[in-house]
Structures are given as structure tokens and as C-alpha cells.
Copies of this chain bind each other. A is one copy, B any other.
């Protein structure tokens, strides 16, 4: 079998195409920042971006004009405030109008589950009394054939490509995720192709028996990208860079400041190591933290 292990630039180049539906997942933990930057570097356009919690990386993708639409359930910079490029796109259509399809977390999680499960739709007890269904034609209802109850139904999500970050992979490309696992397994299994960036590639995965493992044969590409989740965190490797998250707020408030920062640190560098160096980021190493 050909190896799934390849450089990130190659993975994005091969699998992420203009017009694709792309999900980058990671629930505050293990957010695939390095991969998002690579999509920006390779100037993908007309993307439909899917993510439960669009935060800084989606702010950057939106602000750089990669996205035509966004499917989400909560958009913000956790613990800090708004994401300004997201707001500017919705409120003012800059740099281009952004169509939104808005759900709740429970529903987004269920939609990924349906996608992973080969089902066309998901059922939930949700949205009771909420205005969200009025603005989202994908939130419909379904009647239980046994009790007659009406429940919400929404379509499965099956991204063209799902991108996640994980702690480690072995040399075959089997991936282990530890800690807050979010919706990553579902997002990967729902996708037509999945790219996983990892902190390190190891000889033996040493996965506990019932842990979250993604076998290599469900993945399209596995890329070793240390600190690839910065400024989010990788449990057991490094903590979240709260200072960066706070510093992002003023950078992203102003269009020109934002563009200058992205040009210098993302477009102006060739990979994640270059980005970290350019942006003056020194993540806390694994020795300094517990995990």
C-alpha cells in the first residue's frame, strides 16, 4: 500500500479543491490551525466551510476570502469575544458576502453522526420554540411512526474533505486522539477524504484499548506538523496560547491590520514552522506541561 504520510502542502494540494465543502473540526482542543493556514496559502476559493465552533482559524479563512458559505453552530473567540472577520463578512459582506447555515451544537453533532453512519438525515429533540428553523430550510421535522411525536430532522453532513489535528500517528498512518475528542471521529468518517495533521509520528501508537483511534485506511493523508494546533492545545503536548487568542482580537478588528498580519505571517511563509518563527510563537514544550 502507498503511504498516507506526506507533507501538509501536498495533502492540501491533492485533496482540497476550489468549491469543496470542507470541515475542520476540533472542539477547542486540537484545532487544525496549520492546515487552515495551508488552505489560505494555496488560495482555495468558493469553499463551503463547516465547523461547529468557527473561531480564529475560520476567521482567517473567511477574512482571506476563501469561503462562500459557512455551516456552524457557535462562532467566537472562546474566552475573548467576537471573531471580527466573521462578523464583518456577515454584517458588511467583506471581503465578500458569506452565506450562513446556522444550527445548534446538538444538531451539528447529529448531522456529522448521520454522515458517518451512511444515513441521509439525523433526528433530534431540538429547536423547540427557536427561531432558527425559520431561517434555515435544512431544519425540517419528522413524525415518529410509533408515537406520532414531531421531532427535528436535518440532513447528514458529508464533507468533501475533513481536516483534523491529533496527537500522534504510527508509521502506517493510524491516528490516536486523546482527551476532548469532540466530533472528530464522526467528521472524519463522514468525509469523502480526510487529512490528519499530528504532533508526531511514532513507531508504536500505544493506544489504550477503547481509545479514539482512526485507522489509516479511513484517511487520505497523515501529515507530521508539530504545534499544528497552535494557538489551541494538544493534550499532553502543549497548552492553549491564551495570549495569542487575546492578541488576535485587535489584529482582526481592522481589515488592513488583519491583511498585513496574514500576508506577513501566513502568505509570507512556506510552512507551519515558518509561520511560528515569523509570528514569534514559541509554544510551551511538552516537558513544561503535564498531560
Contacts of A155 in B (CB 8 A): 146
Known: A140-B145, A142-B142, A145-B142. A119 touches B210 (CB 8 A): no
Interface 1/0 per residue, A114-129 and B, CB below 8 Å = 0000111101110000
Closest to A141 in B: B145
Instruction: Determine whether the beta carbon of B209 is less than 8 Å from that of A210.
Output: no
Instruction: Determine whether the beta carbon of A120 is less than 8 Å from that of B146.
Output: yes
A residues 142-163 touching B (CB-CB < 8 Å): 142, 144-147, 149, 151, 153, 155
Instruction: Determine whether the beta carbon of B147 is less than 8 Å from that of A120.
Output: yes
Contacts of A146 in B (CB 8 A): 120-121, 138, 140, 153, 155
A212 on interface, CB distance cutoff 8 Å: yes
Bound CA span A179–B210, Å: 7
Known: A153-B145, A208-B208. A123 touches B123 (CB 8 A): yes
A267 on interface, CB distance cutoff 8 Å: no
Copies in the complex: 2
Bound CA span A142–B119, Å: 12
Neighbour of A210 across the interface among B138, B145, B153, B178, CB < 8 A: B178
Closest to A210 in B: B211
Bound CA span A124–B149, Å: 19
A181 on interface, CB distance cutoff 8 Å: yes
Bound CA span A125–B140, Å: 20
Cβ of A71 to closest chain B Cβ, rounded Å: 15
Contacts of A209 in B (CB 8 A): 178-179, 211
Cβ of A204 to closest chain B Cβ, rounded Å: 16
Contacts of A208 in B (CB 8 A): 208, 210-211
Contacts of A147 in B (CB 8 A): 120-121
Q: A141-B145, A210-B210 are in contact. List 11 more A-B contacts (CB 8 A).
A: A120-B144, A120-B146, A120-B151, A121-B144, A138-B146, A140-B145, A142-B145, A145-B153, A146-B153, A208-B210, A209-B211
Task: Give me the 8 closest cross-chain CB pairs, A-B, nearest first.
Answer: A208-B208, A120-B144, A120-B147, A140-B145, A146-B155, A121-B144, A210-B211, A145-B153
A–B complex contacts, Cβ < 8 Å, 12 sampled: A120-B149, A121-B144, A121-B145, A123-B123, A142-B145, A178-B209, A179-B210, A181-B210, A208-B208, A210-B210, A210-B211, A210-B212
